[in-house]
Each structure stands twice: as C-alpha cells, then as structure tokens.
Amino acid sequence: MQDTFPRLLLEHAAKRPDAPAMREKEYGIWQTTTWAGMAQLVEAIACGLHQAGLQRDEHMIVIGANRPRLYATMLAAQSLGAIPVPLYQDAVGAECVFPINNADVRFAVVEDQEQVDKMLEIRDRCPQLSHIYYDDPRGLRNYDQPGLGALEELIASGKAFAQIHPQVFREQVDMARPDDVAAMFFTSGTTGNPKGVVHTHNTLIDRAAVGTRFDKLTDKDEVLAYLPPAWIGQNIFSYAQWLVAGYVVNCPESGATVTIDLKEVGPTYYFAPPRVFEGLLTTVMIRMEDAGALKRKMFHTFMDVARRIGPDKLDGKPVGLMDSVMYALGNLFVYGPLRNSLGMSRVRVAYTAGEAIGPDLFSFYRSIGINLKQLYGSTETAVFVCLQPDHEARADTVGVPCEGVEIKLSETGEILVKSPGLLKEYYKNPAATAEVLTADGWYHTSDAGFIDASGHLKIIDRVKDVGRIKGGTFDNAMFAPKYVENKLKFFSYIKEAVAYGDQREKVCIMINIDMEAVGNWAERRNLPYAGYTDLAQKPEVYELIRDCVEKVNADLSRDELLAGSQISRFLVLHKELDADDGELTRTNKVRRGFIADKYNVLIDALYGGKSEQYIETQVKFEDGRTGSVSATLKVSDAKTFAPVKAAA
C-alpha cells in the first residue's frame, strides 16, 4: 500500500482513472470528479501554490465546508510537503487568530465570501497572512485587497506551470516520507487556548487502514461528508479512509440540504455524533404525533415488536417463527419506509462517537435494522482506539481495542492507550505533550473507564469530572455528570444539560429544551408562546421536564455505583447554549467550568433553595452584533429514589 496521501491518490488515478472519487451537489445537480480528474486538480493547485511560494513543512489553513476543491487543496499542500490545517468554518474571526499565529500561517484557502471577510477582519492581528485564496467567487468581484485571489486563477497558473515543468509535481510527491507531518488539527479548547495536534501520514493512514479492514470497506462504498472537515472524525471518514479504501465521498449542497441529500445518496457507510441521531429520531417522533390514529397505532405496534426482537435479529440470534413473521410485516410497513425516510436504506455500517449515546436511542436504530455501532477515540489517537464488531454492538460499551492498540488503566482508573495512531506532539507545546505522552509511549486519555468481562471498554466519564457527593442522603457517592447528562439528552424534549454536584450535598442541573420538539408539543396542546425564553419558563414545560428528570432518577436508583447522581433540583435556561457565546466548543461539547462561572448566580439559586432567580445574559448574534436576554427563571425540585439493592 502507498504510504502518503498524495501517493494513495496517484495510485487510485492510475488503477481506475474513470471511477468516481467525489461528488458535489451544485444547484440541485450532482457533479462527479473522477480519480483522474482529482489527480489533475491536485497537480494544478500544487503547482500554483509552489509558484506562489508555499514551502515544505510550512502550514496552510483551509476553511470551509466539505468541497472537492478544498479536499484537493489539502492533498496539494501535502504533495509539496506542506501541512494543511483545517479550521472550523463556523468559528468567528477571533477564534482563528491563535491557530494562524501559533502555526505561522502565510497561506489560507477558504470557501467563500464569509470566510474571506473573516480573514480580512483579523489580518491586522496576523500580519504574516499574505495569501488568501477563495473557491466560491460570489460577492467578491469588487474585493481588491493585496494577496487575495481566486482559487480558479491559482489553478490556471498551476496548469500553465505544469505544462512547462511536468516533472516538478512528481518530484515533490516522491520526496515525502511516511513519518513526515501530514496534517495538524486544533483541539476544541475546553480550557484555554486550543492545542495543535500533529499527525504524520503514517499515523493517519495506519488508523484509516485498520478501520477499513475491520468493517470490510471497499471502493464500492459511499459516504456523505457533512460534518466539519476540521473535526478529525470527519477527516478520517471522508479523507483518510477515502484515500485508503477508494470509496466515493459525496458533498451536500449545504447544511440545510443534508437530510434531502442523505436520501438521494443512500450512503453505505455513515457516521454521526449522537446529537444527529437524536435529531433524526426527534423529527420522526414529531411526524408520528401528527399522523392519523391508524398510522400511529400501526407504528407503535410494530415498534414494540422491533424493540423486543430487532436487535436480536441484527445480531444473528434465533427468534421464534411468529416473531419473524411480525418483524417481516413491520419491515414492510414501518421499518423499511422509516429507514428510507431517514436516508439509511443502504447503510451497511453506521457509527456514532464523540459522546455517549442513550441506550434507548441506540437500540431504536438497531431495532429497525440499522447496524449502528459505537467507537472510541480522539484527535490525539487518530480516532480508532476501540470499535464494536458486528453482532457485539452494545449501548453501554465502546467496543474492543482495535488492531495495534493496547489499553491499560492507571491507579486512578484513567484509560491509557498505546497505538500506532498516536499524535507526534502538540505543536510548540512540549509541556502539554509531556503531560499526555509517557516516555514509554502511553497516551493519557483523561477518560475514566474499565474493560468488562467480555473484553469491551466501558467509559464512565472524564477523570477530572468524576466526583463525590459530600453530605446529604448520598454522602460519598460517586458523581458522574456526563453520564447523567447523556441520560437526560435521550429525551427528545431535552437538547442539552449541565450537571453539578462534586463536593456538594446533592446534584443540580441546568437544562436546554429542544425548541422543535417542545414547540411541537406545546402547539398540539394549544399552549401559546412567544419564542424560546417564554416557552422555556411555562409551568407546563417545567412539568414535562420534571417527568424526564424523575424517570432518569428512577433509572439511576437501580445503579449501585451511580444512585447518588440522582438530580435533586433543576432549572430550564432562558437561552440555548451556544459556541459563539463560549458555552460550547465547536464540536458541541459543554464547557462546564465556563458555564459555572457565567451562570454562577443560577448555581447559587439551585443550591440556595430559591424558587426563582432573575438573570440577564449577553449573547452574540450571527452577524457579529451583541445583545442581551433576560428572564426570571423558575427553580424546581425533583423526586429522588432510595437506591434499589441488587438481588442476592
């Protein structure tokens, strides 16, 4: 197998030049780029960048959605021995300053006018940023800033250069070595500045190849690339594995058309974080609530059958004749149309990762015949640490260590990993590198967990987040906030939750409702509301959320380790947590410490026994303006349950 990404590309172009490599939907029509076409495009961009002065080992940022020409740009940079650094397209300009300056970036290739404006806005803080190229010229006709140019012009000059110097591109590609740096990914930075995670061709290709072999992926598979390319999960699935397996990557027209494009493409290999699967299920349940009585009855009847025997059928376990007949009927009338509606009728392997997924959500998809599995990994491990084999997918584990991986637990219960996919270093941060990488090659994941009797890894929470209740009914009981939050987020009415309780006498939680699900629920009950803030504070909504909280408490009471994590008090926030307001990372992880500081007055109200609390919060709008949202929030108690003792 070829050992660098450009050589993998050239191998595909030589062996099957006319096979589709990528498709992009433009103006409602799918446009195909073949492997030969991709190789020609990469050569032209590489030669253009070479002429413009991009040097070996130099960093170049790439910002935009999944677009064939942006993927070709990353390959072009790697062909010259330069290092592509994808950044999040929804990050505000200020968030790009640190990565650009940290990596001494002179070259930026961006998608459109929005990203160009962002680069120009911060240019005075990044004086070395001398070259900015854009893919989509719309709105940019009258821009004449120095160093700003169209990618189209760069490609044209690169083609002309390649005709005069046809050997330069191949010479540059041949100079690369497997242990050269291939890419750098900035972590989401839940605390402080983000860190640049440095990966080589070898680490990324090795892990991509392991995942490809594990799930028997081939060039006949298809994926939909719709998550941010700056997130290593998307980068592995639609870049590294694309070049290893040679399958087709499909790029949707926009974020708004993903659901439609998913149905049109019908991917065979699909990846999404739990929030996407939650959103799809919420949409389904809202539609069913609005359906006629007969359809609702049929749906619920056959879903009862699916929940009972669907996972067993998917795992190849025997089921009774009558059950098989009922499931076949359900597949005809409910599960098949439902898979088709979700765009998953052809899915052979589906993965979720990034957060724990609710067991009921997990079993829902498996029960209707979708082979949904979990994996475990991180930016620093090039994703693949643990994978779930077919017929061994379980909601409470993240799979078995995959090929080449060793796992051990520290004395504190932290998971340590040794793998060929480990980061080379954190860029310009030897102290942080030394914190996570031991001298003998073990990586500190910061996750707490254990290997169960069947060899599967179970994750409890982040090590730093696992705490203890002090005082009260559950004195010295374990507190695992993420575990509690994920249980709540299974309910379609709850979009986000932030739990507190470490070193306190009880657990309290702040909740974001799901506007679509709760709004639909309110409308069916003729409950008027004037927006999110008004709806969130309705007494009826509080009762709805209380029911969800108490169901979670009843479930937790049956868990010997986590019965003390039951929720005593809760409130519903007056605004949605937002990455632009610093409350979430760009990968939608809760910044618990930041939120605790920002909403300290609410935490005091929860623990101080208050029944309500006024708060005013500054928010940032999409156009960069700021404003404020204020409300008097209700604080409610929830019923907790005595721990259920396991039978002897």
Provide mean pLDDT across the span 572-587. Answer: 90
SS (H, E, C) 225-255: CCCCCCCHHHHHHHHHHHHHHCCEEEECCCH
- Report the alpha-carbon distance of residue 633 to residue 648 in Å, rounded: 45
Question: pLDDT tens, 71-90?
Answer: 999 999 999 999 999 999 99
Residues 443/477, Cβ–Cβ less than 8 Å: no
In this prediction, residue 648 carries a pLDDT of 40
Q: How many residues does the chain have?
A: 648
Question: pLDDT tens, 427-463?
Answer: 999 999 999 999 999 999 999 888 888 899 988 888 8
In this prediction, residue 56 carries a pLDDT of 97
Question: pLDDT tens, 326-338?
Answer: 999 999 999 999 9
Average pLDDT, the chain: 93
Provide mean pLDDT across the span 116-140. Answer: 97
pTM: 0.83
In this prediction, residue 647 carries a pLDDT of 44
Residues 42/79, Cβ–Cβ less than 8 Å: yes
Tokens of 299: 């749906």
Contacts of 415 (CB under 8 A, 6+ apart): 407, 409, 445, 447, 448, 449, 457, 459
Higher pLDDT among residues 461 and 198, named by residue: 198
In this prediction, residue 191 carries a pLDDT of 58
In this prediction, residue 107 carries a pLDDT of 98
In this prediction, residue 189 carries a pLDDT of 60
Question: pLDDT tens, 235-283?
Answer: 999 999 999 999 999 999 988 899 899 999 999 999 998 888 888 888 8
Number of other residues whose CB lies within 10 A of the CB of residue 412: 8
Work out the percent of the chain whose per-residue pLDDT is above 70. 98
Question: pLDDT tens, 233-244?
Answer: 999 999 999 999
In this prediction, residue 210 carries a pLDDT of 98
Provide mean pLDDT across the span 458-481. Answer: 86
Q: What are phi and psi of 425, to 5 degrees?
A: -175, 170
Provide mean pLDDT across the span 509-520. Answer: 94
Among 643, 627, 456, smallest CA distance to 557 is for: 643
Question: pLDDT tens, 13-52?
Answer: 999 999 999 999 988 899 999 999 999 999 999 999 999 9
Residues 152/165, Cβ–Cβ less than 8 Å: no
DSSP conformation class of 331 = I
Higher pLDDT among residues 396 and 457, named by residue: 457
All structural domains of the chain, each given as residue ranges with its CATH number in brackets, are: 5-258 (3.40.50.12780), 274-461 (3.40.50.12780), 467-637 (3.30.300.30)
Place of tokens 């949409």: 283
In this prediction, residue 435 carries a pLDDT of 95
Residues 366/391, Cβ–Cβ less than 8 Å: no
- Report the alpha-carbon distance of residue 251 to residue 44 in Å, rounded: 21
